[in-house]
Structure 1
Amino acid sequence: MAYVTPSYRGYRLETFVFRDQDAAPAEHKHDRTLAVSVRISQSAADDPASPFEPKLFRLESVLFDAIGDARRAGDEFGRSLVDDIIHGNQTEV
């Protein structure tokens, strides 16, 4: 399921929460099996001719047992990536 942050500093953030396929089969309901990815793209209000292509980033090494926790972590992760883009730091895909 995707959760959209309409605009953060001129970028659109979409947080995706999904079951991690690499996680061991869950014996208990609340095993940490939820993973997070964030897609960053230009906001619609910005110049559509911008060279910035949408990019997808996965929050590595952290799994969650609650959708809300995963979504909040994804939102924060996306905002930190946008801050890095704005400040000119290179971000690996």
Structure 2
Amino acid sequence: MTLHLVIHRPAATEGEGAAAERHALSEAVWEVADSHWAPTEEALMVSCDLSAAYLLSHFKAGLARRGHPDPGMLLVVPMGEAAAWSGLPPDGDAWVRETL
């Protein structure tokens, strides 16, 4: 499985619109990956066997199906063994290490 870092900045910049877009993306993530973690409001880590290009397409379509045709900023980046990070909580750090 590949671990992907997903960054999403909703088209709606705040309030209920942004929350609805984040929820729609979360639902789209659940459709393709049981294993994922959200370290921040705008970042998700998704573990699955799908390519970054496929995930991007799936997330954009999932947002559109849920009434959000403008996905805002959406970035899907595969992570590898060379990835580095700092400041994750212990459980998140352990999950990332195990998933990589």
Q: Which TM-score band applies after superposition, normalised by the shorter structure?
A: 0.3 to 0.5
Q: What TM-score do you get using the length of structure 1 for normalisation? A: 0.32
More strand by share: 1
Larger radius of gyration: 1
Higher relative contact order (CA 8 A, sep 6+): 2
Q: What TM-score do you get using the length of structure 2 for normalisation? A: 0.31
